[in-house]
Structure 1
């Protein structure tokens, strides 16, 4: 894994941390919270789009293509995005994503230690 890949993974973690901070302030039914989370989900999708496919094979249980496509949906079909979809993504999908990204970062650290 290159330094660039590591930075993309760290970008995802930073966006997930920001989402956690936003949800601690309120519910997605609040328009400002919804918008803030939506922007961070776009950042997540953008970072995923720039990760190489061979890296993502180390976490095959995640729907990486769907994560990247969510970015496109949120960015280009804003009015078709419901609060329920965003709330469900935050509650059910982001914890799995965080674990996978942390695992990939750990793998990077181990690879560097072995070289």
Structure 2
């Protein structure tokens, strides 16, 4: 299935939002949150990989190549991924990524 730019950016905003909800919910078991966040980070990596360079260039503060490799690392090097890295990424990097993707969506796709 081929997704257009707006849909890919919407997918990213949605995945970031869910990650933020997961890590904020203290009622959820940590192992469940860890697994859910990892899966959403894989999704983010795949979605970013399909974004045009002209679009990602508008947000140079985000390390897009590292984000695009995130999914690959989480699936192929799963044994090297610690909860502290996953939760650190979720709490520190995901909010910045989400804000950047929202700006990109507004700039490149216009209002919804």
Contact 2:20–2:91 (CA under 8 A) maintained in structure 1:
no
1:76 paired residue number:
76
TM-score, normalised on structure 1?
0.86
| SS state at 2:60 partner | coil
Q: Distance in 2 between matches of 1:87 and 1:21?
A: 12
| SS state at 2:4 partner | helix
1:65 paired residue number:
65
Structure 1 90/27 Cα, relative in aligned 2: closer, same or farther at 3 Å? farther
Q: Output one character per residue of 1:51-90: Cα deviation in whole Å (capped at 9) or x when no partner.
A: 0111111011110000011111001111110011111111
| SS state at 1:60 partner | coil
Kindly state the Cα deviation for residue 27 of structure 1 after the two structures are TM-superposed.
8.6
Kindly state the Cα deviation for residue 23 of structure 1 after the two structures are TM-superposed.
1.2
Kindly report structure 1 stretches of 4+ aligned residues shifted beyond 6 Å: none
Q: Output one character per residue of 1:9-34: Cα deviation in whole Å (capped at 9) or x when no partner.
A: 00001111111221122399821110
Aligned positions, number: 109
